[in-house]
Amino acid sequence: MQRVQLILRGHWRQFHSNLNKFCESGESEHLHQARIGWRRLKSSLHFFCPLYRNVLPFPSHSLRPLLEQIGKVRDVDVALEETLPEWRELYAGDCPLRRAKWDSMLKALRDQREQGRLAISQAFHQAQIHHNLMSAAQWIEAL
């Protein structure tokens, strides 16, 4: 059981430390790594669940709003940083009207991303979310 706890603890640390770094720096890579840590944690919990039939379920439901916001912001990050740059010329070409529409769309997405980043940072520092994060960490430590 200690090995399972070590695995879960490692995934939790990847999630929590990268989320903290993201809130400090706003760097997309930290948000990406936090999301990877969460997915690994979730997968490991699912895999090891049969070993812990008598343990209360992992308290992830209380983190759902934060996790959904992380997912939305990460999706916009990928669109802005990886997907859309390749499509600009295909869509806009040399047409000034299409270029203006494209630039307007990018501005709206950047604004949406910034609002989402701010919401993540604010949520991360809220007492209830902090309590929920600590509850999740304590759950792992109590295994």
Task: Provide the pLDDT confidence category of residue 50 given band limits of 50, 70 and 90.
Answer: confident
How far is the C-alpha of 14 from the C-alpha of 46, rounded, in Å? 18
Reported as a single tens digit per residue, the pLDDT across 9-24 is 999 999 999 999 999 9
The pTM assigned to this predicted structure is 0.89
Residue 70: pLDDT above 70?
yes
4 with 49: CB under 8 angstroms? no
Backbone angles phi, psi at 60, to 5 degrees: -85, -20
Per-residue pLDDT at 1 = 66
Residue 55: pLDDT above 80?
no
Q: Which two tokens stand for residue 94?
A: 């040399």
How far is the C-alpha of 30 from the C-alpha of 101, rounded, in Å? 31
Q: Which two tokens stand for residue 81?
A: 């940083």
Per-residue pLDDT at 78 = 96
How far is the C-alpha of 120 from the C-alpha of 51, rounded, in Å? 33
Residue 62: pLDDT above 90?
no
Residue 52: pLDDT above 80?
no
Backbone angles phi, psi at 55, to 5 degrees: -100, 140
